[in-house]
Amino acid sequence: MSSSTATSTNITWHAGDVSRNERAQLLKQKGLTIWFTGLSASGKSTVASALEQHLLHKGINAYRLDGDNIRFGLNKNLGFSPEDRTENIRRISEVSKLFADSSTIAITSFISPYRSDRDSARKLHQDAGIPFVEVFADVPVSVAEERDPKGLYKKARAGEIKEFTGISAPYEAPESPEIHIRTDQKSIAEAVEQIFAYLVANQLI
């Protein structure tokens, strides 16, 4: 794992000639990050994908960063230890901030089980003046385990997967997310509409 504490030397931040406000005016949209968190099989990736499609059909540029997909490339050298989970979220926090800075709506879908890691992602955006919207895809563990589309809970119960969130590793639920969705009680369309309505009401789109 690459150390998150290592620092590069002999580098200088280079500001571009286009400001964020100018870019937003030219592209006619603001950038922000919509951060989905929840257990495996909570429905966060499904809702995130549907939200991305909904925004694009509305003419709003959006891009989804999915936890599993990112581990095939950018984060393929990371495992699931607490340290690697933290580094996983640190990297995607930086990437989503870059997308948002470019006036894209970054939609991230990561279990991101530790509250402190999500708080760090939020602070990174806040310090840069970029909106950060946390969406809690909430289901009881029993419901997620019943869905289990990838068979991961079954493997975790059998001891085949170590440090599995919700079974042998903790999940720290958000205390005050901007959006809280019980995905076992709402349809995908209803969840997307709830998020879209929030974005409109808060003048984020």
Just list the catalytic residues.
112
CA angle 199, 15, 7 (to 5 degrees): 95
* Nearest CA among 95, 33, 92 for reference residue 62: 33
Q: How many Å apart are CA 97 and CA 92, to the nearest integer?
A: 8
Q: How many Å apart are CA 8 and CA 138, to the nearest integer?
A: 39
